[in-house]
Amino acid sequence: MRFTDNKCDPENLSPLMLAFIGDTVYDLFVRETLLTECPRPVKKLHALAVEEVSASAQARKIKEILHLLTEEETDIFKRGRNAHTGHVPKSADVVTYHHATGLETLFGYLYLKGNIERLKELFEEIHKI
């Protein structure tokens, strides 16, 4: 299931296009989880979300779940990790940023494929870490 019914084949999208949507999907999963875990002030929710979606947090978490990925998922992750982003934010080194981009690429791919159950499985593993 996707939000829109527009035709979109993730196989035909670049890794950075997949990361573009995957960044938001991951962010939504983080925010929904934080919101539903326990009541907190919005300022605290925002601070926790920013921490969870940082490149360093994403890079750490993808490394912890790489062994759980299927061959197809590993290939998608690697496509994203190896993509030339053109920039690296000041808050992350190149390797960290590329691993985070790989995670976002994987989440974008699975979302556009409509594989929400797999997204949930992977996110639940990530959130345990």
Catalytic residue numbers read 23
CA 125 to chain centre: 13
Sequence-ordered list of residues with C-beta below 8 angstroms from that of 122, at least 6 positions apart, any chain: 65, 68, 69, 106, 107, 110
Cβ neighbourhood burial of 127 (10 Å; 0-12, 13-18, 19+): middle
Sequence-ordered list of residues with C-beta below 8 angstroms from that of 63, at least 6 positions apart, any chain: 99
Q: Do residues 81 and 102 touch, judged by C-beta distance below 8 A?
A: yes
- Give the whole-angstrom CA distance, residue 5 versus residue 77: 25
